[in-house]
Structure 1
Amino acid sequence: MVMIAKCVMAVLALISAFGVAFSRQAVHSALFLTCNLLCVAVLYLLMSLHFLGAAQLLVYAGAIMVVFLFAVTVLAPEDEMLGKWNDSYKLTGVGVAALLGGCLIVVNSRAVLTDLAPPDQGSLKDFATNLFGKYVFPFEGTAFVLLVALIGVVLLGHRRLRDLDRGGPSRD
């Protein structure tokens, strides 16, 4: 039963990933991305990785996507560039995808599977010790970058809304 649920979630994650890539509207693409992140969170939970599932759900599908959807709807990036995909862009995309797929096949064919990690290595205590000990500065730096991005979105959105209320064009 768990294997069937994993397969269903994997297929839904792939479908929503294609929806992200091929959707022509930014809001639809963001909603497909939210669906993809939720499917990945369920996959983590089905693999008994409860902390990763909860973190995926709260951080990515929750907080980050709310900020992203807010930025998309307030800043409305539906400009003229979205509809101008010509054949050279499509050919380049297919070439890059084929190159990356080939690299994945080569790397996976040469991979040697080893034994599983010891039971105490992937524990929440070990994770917290590393995160708040060894990796505290990168963790805080990431939090700072996200805070700066959030403040930037709020300021840009506020300025644009203020200019639209005055009846004039927004300054970009």
Structure 2
Amino acid sequence: MTTNAHVPATDAEEIDFKLLTAEEAAQLRKQNPEMSPWWVIGAQVAAGLLVACVAWMWVGRPVAAVSAFYGAMAVAVPAALFARGVRQRPGMATQAAMLRFFVWESIKIALTVALLAAAPWLIGGLVWLALLAGVVIAMKMYWVALMVRPGWLKRNGLFGKEKLKDGR
């Protein structure tokens, strides 16, 4: 008895999949290192500080900066708790890891909503537009941090040793 199903010629596609050798896989991992979640959280805090400064200059009141920074922290603090909670532990079953992810993601969302709901009571004279700007900017840092990774910055000469034009 065979375990392979017959694939009709009309459904067959040419497969462009190439198995990597151990050396090629190691090189690929070296070129694309795993990104730490703390890089994203650091980017959220930095973006929160930046948007707070812009809000203060734009509105001219310190409460605008506090509102913007609070909005960013309402995203970054729950994300930090999530990153700490879902750390991979040796020998953990796949189902347990998925359950842990689901539980911590639910906690992250609930804490973010609770922090945003508490903002009017915690910040006197809350500037809602600045708070919203802080939340949006911090949430966009997930995408920015995925595109601009620390290794990418080094490889492109934007951080650390400069790259020469001839590629050396």
TM-score by length of 2: 0.30
Higher helix share: 1
TM-score by length of 1: 0.29
Q: Which has the higher contact order (CA 8 A, sep 6+)?
A: 2
